[in-house]
Structure 1
């Protein structure tokens, strides 16, 4: 993308040479549009924020910048050694710009790094989980209550079920008939709501990343070690079990989350153990045994809840997640339900892994 109006505008706003600037897509996020904007001498990451998902984008930026500052303070004293992705101001000192009713921001580009979409080794799983653990440890003394709820009720399974049921009842896009088996399966798993509600008040509220997918951690090109935790858009108050569960969801299957080869979708127990080792180790001085054992519930809840959200979005006409074809969200949902079922089948084994680590 070269010499278009938006490239010219963003280049001027963020101090690049607009005459040579080009902009190309990077990443594969579901929500925001992420691009690499560069001229002959510098590069920045620019994002068009989805204001349907983030109706108050200033809150997203305030959260992320507060966390950036906290991590930067830790880095000065040697208590956080990963790179920190930071917002970049415009030439006028602003962190959000609007062009043709689109809201954009810029972030530092962390070079010499790469990301993964599917985990291919226990080493990569443990490295990534450890990075998220280091991130969580560095934020232990950050007041979670000061963070905006940029997506209210994000991990509220009760609300997710209510939205699902209302969407099924409305059936505005005549899609219910395509997935009656999936709908019945979801309805049969409502006991997860009570399990989550029983934990309320028994484990600490933490500042959480809330999107600990493998591709939100950058590896170093030269060493293959963890380099940076990125995508702080959904940092909000929550429970570590959700961050752990999202790692299980996105690390443990050998298949991508939209793979239709459901026979291959499963929990790799050795990857699960690598996640436990990597994530728990940095937190060992503060995590309680009850909080640690809640991770098993997180491992169940996260693939089920994202599957429920994919299915709800499919039934609602694909308004939330970006899709590539008409049944993309339905395929994603079935993939996640298959992973969830395998976690249930192996629950005893997975619990044993948590206990011994």
Structure 2
């Protein structure tokens, strides 16, 4: 290495101290690899490592959220191997997010063993906001294909990395505890919203009655549109990414999260709650894309559960924001006063609009 390259490499590593010379060596990258922060995720720190003939995504797994980095890697490897086998049989058309092994065959790096590398997928980009039914269809079809390819995978073999993640009854219990404690003294200002949420507890029983009829599936659990890589030239999704929350569950939650994050024309924390609504044309595109992706695999009971999933996810995330507001904003990061209250109001507004439009929306899932 020339003196100039050595100085550049040292400066590069100094600017990104997580990516040490040893980490680069572990993944067989040269010392002059270019390092830059990558993406806009809120959980893990992510970097793009670029060398002459190789690009990797390096992530520091947030072990305050995911206590075991090894469990995340093992879950991802199991899914990866299953999808690769399907791809080799001509049964999976998408690209596959793959873990990158180190030179010694292991996967985790760094002093705390909380760094892992992923192979970079070319020719794809992320969409942050759904602008058209075509984009919504592409996302739902991609996540449907991903789920369908894993329909014959033993979901129970995955480690549940976030226990009770979609336990609506537990989320209501957390809200009731936040109401009783009223730590931040905010209960009076949002009492009408609290009362409305508590009146929706019948959804817990509805969910409990339905789930025994549903097969246990591998769920992605974070089906935002930016977790699909999109090829604008082809007008389609090319990969489902960010598999950290893949766990055993029910497809209604994945469909519900797509509805929750794709259907509103407003941002999740918009101050203009009156404009927050379910766009029926986007809901229809999501329904068509997901059902086409799951064609021949989804059961009638699962198909009937999808609208319930949309209601559950909007209500559940709204309850979580509301409880955090009452607790003094201890979980979700905020950027302004009442940020979590505004988020809660928007999620509950989506839930209310789902109920108001239920006959029309249900027809799209027939």
Which TM-score band (shorter chain)?
over 0.9
**Residue 68, structure 1, aligned to residue 80, structure 2:** yes
Cα offset, 1:19, TM superposition: 3.2
Residue in 2 that maps onto 1:281: 292
Q: TM-score, normalised by structure 1?
A: 0.92
Residue in 2 that maps onto 1:292: 303
- Indicate how the Cα distance of structure 1 residues 40 and 181 shifts in structure 2: closer, same or farther if over 3 A, else same: farther
Q: TM-score, normalised by structure 2?
A: 0.90
Whole-angstrom CA distance in 1 between matches of 2:328 and 2:48: 30
- Indicate how the Cα distance of structure 1 residues 325 and 95 shifts in structure 2: closer, same or farther if over 3 A, else same: farther
Cα offset, 1:41, TM superposition: 4.1
Q: Contact 1:97 / 1:103 at 8 angstroms: preserved in 2? A: yes
- Indicate how the Cα distance of structure 1 residues 325 and 49 shifts in structure 2: closer, same or farther if over 3 A, else same: farther
3-state SS, counterpart of residue 274 of structure 1? helix
Q: For this pair of structures, how many residues does the alignment match?
A: 353
Whole-angstrom CA distance in 1 between matches of 2:286 and 2:66: 30
Q: Contact 1:204 / 1:239 at 8 angstroms: preserved in 2? A: yes
Residue in 2 that maps onto 1:114: 125
Cα distance per residue 1:184-226 (max 9 Å; x no partner):
2221211111110111311111111111111111101432211
Cα offset, 1:329, TM superposition: 2.7
3-state SS, counterpart of residue 22 of structure 1? strand
- Indicate how the Cα distance of structure 1 residues 3 and 184 shifts in structure 2: closer, same or farther if over 3 A, else same: same
Regions of 4+ moved over 6 Å: none
Cα offset, 1:31, TM superposition: 2.2
Q: Which has the larger radius of gyration?
A: 2
Residue in 1 that maps onto 2:267: 256
Cα offset, 1:153, TM superposition: 0.9
Residue in 2 that maps onto 1:93: 105
Q: CA RMSD in A?
A: 2.0
Cα distance per residue 1:120-178 (max 9 Å; x no partner):
11111111111111111101100111111110011110111112222332233444345
**Residue 29, structure 1, aligned to residue 16, structure 2:** no
Whole-angstrom CA distance in 2 between matches of 1:248 and 1:214: 10
Residue in 2 that maps onto 1:3: 13
Selected match of 2:94 from 53, 76, 82? 82
Whole-angstrom CA distance in 1 between matches of 2:238 and 2:79: 17
Cα distance per residue 1:65-103 (max 9 Å; x no partner):
10011001000011001010111122332222244x572
Tell me which moved more, 13-22 or 172-181. Answer: 172-181
**Residue 229, structure 1, aligned to residue 240, structure 2:** yes
Q: Which runs of 5+ in 2 are unaligned?
A: 1-10
